[in-house]
Amino acid sequence: MSKNVVNLFFDMDGLIVKFNQNASAEEISVPMYYEDAPFFVRTVKGILLAMKLAKLKEIKEDIEINFYILSAAFSSNDKDFLLNPETNDFAKHKLNSLYKNGLMANSEPDFYSMLSFCDKYSLTRDESFELGFDKGQVIFCSYGHKKREVLQHIPYTSGINVLFDDYSNNVRDWHNLKSGRIGVKWLNDINNIRKSNDYTSEFYDCMLEVDEFSTVIDGFASSPQAIATSIMSVVDYAKDRLTLSD
């Protein structure tokens, strides 16, 4: 392998966007609901800071680090897997929310001023515009399908593929070291408070025994810097596995 490739897939609901567990079925069935959902500000800062660190790492090391958002959305056709924001209203409003909250490249600069983003991380205005996701890096899949199926539908997924997700079933299904997939459990304001009851200690201990790597990131209690550092630690771990497999 000429270059080590690590692809990072970030869930949206419950990781980037706050999940309202008290929302009614009627509320979540309206596409506009997703455009106005509040974001985890520290998580947004942490992911964007990780993008900056990744760019520096790519310059210094023989590695390519790709960032993606992988989010499920409702679809009227159960056979659909990848959803196009131009034809699916749920995907469209989710994408709009990413633009509104500054996670898309070339988003409005007011977002960075509001968070003092440039000052906090010593970014120039040009750098702040470069950071973020392009449309091709935001992937929407239909509910009812397994997220790992996305690797069969999109190009450039060679190397190690990492999923950051707050839903344990997604993490369990994704995580398969022999297949080059690493699942990382993300704690938020709900599962952190509940001590992540859905993420059994048996499963956690099993994964630690298998790969000797902490597979949990506390995105709720951590600072943006700590979140970014944790993300890059996963990148380092993934690169080590690529090196061992060469």
Domain count across the chain: 1
**The domain containing residue 224 runs over which residues?**
4-245
Instruction: Spell out the per-residue pLDDT of the chain, length 246, in tens.
Output: 456 899 999 999 989 998 777 888 788 888 898 888 888 888 888 898 899 899 999 999 989 999 999 999 999 887 888 999 999 999 999 999 988 877 887 655 444 444 455 554 455 655 555 678 888 899 999 998 899 999 988 776 778 999 999 888 898 899 888 888 999 888 877 766 544 444 443 334 334 333 444 467 777 667 888 888 889 999 998 888 876 665
3-state secondary structure labels for all residues of the chain: CCCEEEEEEECCECCCECCCCCCCHHHHCCCHHHHCCCECHHHHHHHHHHHHHHHHHHHHCCEEEEEEEEEEECCCCCCCCECCCCCCHHHHHHHHHHHHCCCECCCCCHHHHHCCHHHHCCCCHHHHHHCCECHHHEEEEECCCCHHHHHHCCCCCCCEEEEEECCHHHHHHHCEHHHCEEEEEEECCCCCCCCCCCCCHHHHHHHHHHHCCCCEEECCCCCHHHHHHHHHHHHHHHHHHHHHHC
> pTM of the predicted model, to two decimals?
0.84
What confidence score (pLDDT) does residue 205 get? 38
Backbone angles phi, psi at 16, to 5 degrees: -90, -40
Question: How far, in Å, CA of 232 to CA of 50, rounded?
Answer: 7
